[in-house]
Structure 1
């Protein structure tokens, strides 16, 4: 199956952001070398020598950071950098300075990104103490016209996206550029309006590799997503609250979470959107010594034989720069097909296991979801 995406949308999703430019790390590296050279020239003067060494170290660190970012594509612009800093805690934790209170949606904050064609982004805090999730910061991207009086009775399909590990829900707004991709789709009228939710599966610990699991003695993130986030979104927003109009996706660890949770909840999700997926949990120790629990959360083991009382459609994407990802995508797709389910694979030439691949894949994930929403099966 070929997923149709306008050339403009696909091209811009693959473009390098300002802060991803290799010239940044090359410049910092050159400055580090220059500082080393100046330090040698003034080696007999203690003060200038120390200053030169300090500057060389600083520029070397900046060059390393910029080089890694140029490869990974985590921070593309100044806005991405702000979102990253705001995750750090304290006064930077909230997006309060960038988001304004919206009177029509009590308890949410809203900003429109990308002009009149861009989605309105709202932050919705959903707590589930029973699942050990103190207050997940979920971001809801609403299509243009959602609040117009003419659309007061219109309902929309929903796509849920899960971040990677480590990471947080801001990542799909920044590194994943979901607002920009949606804005371009909507401007070209190439995607039906939909609600996109970037789900917080950090349980308040963004550096821990939870993989969306119900962790014994820890957060129950599968339960949180399926039984807290989805119902809360359906209550707050005008969704088409059925599996035929609901998709679940993610990147890397988020793709594993989407695969595992989606297969456990076929009654809730009719389409799975998986960027750089894998089918065996990386951190199996979180599931303890219970072999049955591990098997129940290892799609590689249970997918080839599981029943499908309801059909599901899946798209799997990977970058050819990471052959293991491509092999995993085809292996999982074949497992779906062997069970009579629709599955397609899309690859990005030369990309690796990075956010650049997730960003380039997102148009195909959303277009696949839209095709499923228009022709739901089951």
Structure 2
């Protein structure tokens, strides 16, 4: 924990920011599900060009036409073979693009490039041609950091830096952690400004820290929220908790005999971010969130470390390991310690925790789970709000659509903490 005195200039700058309509009031004001500005909500719910159902419908029609062609030329060997190959390829592509339409994982050519870059050889080369890389600067794992560039996405967009934060002692190899810096971060006039931090965890399995930049569209959401002055400047960090094995469903655990991901987040990532960036390094200005498996990780780690996080942002949440209980190697004590549904009902809360849970209305199980977890927090005297997003299911569509609610909810909590500290200092 860093002494508060070290951040008085940053707090003063935050406190001096003009208040937004509807945000004034007593320090102990309750947090609510935020009213997201219309342009932000519309953007977050938009379907990207590569998510259009017209793509898979067209491919399905082409597959059907190829089948018909194969039947018509069945006596001609080579044309029939070509028609069958075409039908199979179109059918496979229709299935893949149809799944993407449902899940919302790849929105644009830029997103597709990022995904392809994870492959090797010519696939990665193709990905690099689709990914212009304009929105990112690179940082090494040491204390030196390049000055953020002005993003090409326009005013209000965050500058994005990449950190390499390996931790061999905890079984975590080199990986990418993405840091989204608020507008003006590199301005010498803002050199004394310090910022609250939101940490986001990807889903499991086959998730990466990059997902919050692509499928989650955190840069686009932050750009619009900043331009609408709907939030005060904050740093957003997308953390890699894959331990270099994206196919594994680690759930953010300290796995017996495996990667110690909970420890990695607290012992490696948090100190590195606080050391490299001008953060307000206290629990009241730090949030932890995630989607699906990342939401479980955020919930479990956040409850284990109430001294580090005051806000939890949980999209598509659940509170028990279920089929992944094998990660604890049959140890009943470890299973209890990593099942929030079990321990939340009796755990003490030495400090207040504020929680936003989001779910898509098309996933009734998610909605029921979110409301049940919210009720469990409320029964322990903690703030918890459940937001149900219409029209979406247990997919990235829901996570992307509810990210503005998550960031604005965190901003409410940070604002309240800053106001309380300012009042105490005066």
Both proteins in one fold, TM over 0.5: yes
Q: 2:234 aligns with which of 177, 185, 194?
A: 194
Quote the offset at 1:350 in angstroms. Answer: 2.2
Unaligned runs of 5+ in 1: none
Unaligned runs of 5+ in 2: 1-31, 422-426
Which residue of structure 2 lines up, in the alignment, with residue 149 of structure 1? 188
Which residue of structure 1 lines up, in the alignment, with residue 394 of structure 2? 353
| Larger relative strand fraction | 1
Which residue of structure 1 lines up, in the alignment, with residue 215 of structure 2? 175
Q: If the length of structure 2 is used for normalisation, what is the TM-score?
A: 0.85
Change (3 A) 1:194 1:100: closer
Aligned residues: 378
Q: 2:232 is paired with a residue of what secondary structure?
A: coil
Q: 1:61 is paired with a residue of what secondary structure?
A: helix
Which residue of structure 2 lines up, in the alignment, with residue 53 of structure 1? 84
Does structure 1 residue 123 correspond to structure 2 residue 162? yes
Q: Give RMSD over aligned pairs.
A: 2.1
Which residue of structure 2 lines up, in the alignment, with residue 277 of structure 1? 317
Q: 2:275 is paired with a residue of what secondary structure?
A: helix
Quote the offset at 1:226 in angstroms. Answer: 1.1
CA contact (8 A) 1:113 1:119 kept: no
Which residue of structure 2 lines up, in the alignment, with residue 254 of structure 1? 294
Separation in 2 of the partners of 1:126 and 1:352?
33
CA contact (8 A) 2:137 2:160 kept: no
Separation in 2 of the partners of 1:308 and 1:323?
30
Alignment of 1:1-378 (within 5 A): 1-89=32-120, 92=124, 98=133, 99-101=136-138, 106=144, 112=151, 114-166=153-205, 167-282=207-322, 283-376=324-417
Quote the offset at 1:109 in angstroms. Answer: 9.3
Quote the offset at 1:214 in angstroms. Answer: 0.2
Quote the offset at 1:108 in angstroms. Answer: 6.2
Change (3 A) 1:157 1:67: same
Q: 1:179 is paired with a residue of what secondary structure?
A: helix
1:245-265: CA deviations, max 9, x gaps? 000000000000000000000
Q: 2:203 is paired with a residue of what secondary structure?
A: coil
CA contact (8 A) 1:101 1:110 kept: no
Quote the offset at 1:102 in angstroms. Answer: 6.8
1:225-260: CA deviations, max 9, x gaps? 111101100000000000000000000000000000
Quote the offset at 1:23 in angstroms. Answer: 0.4
Q: If the length of structure 1 is used for normalisation, what is the TM-score?
A: 0.96
CA contact (8 A) 1:109 1:123 kept: no
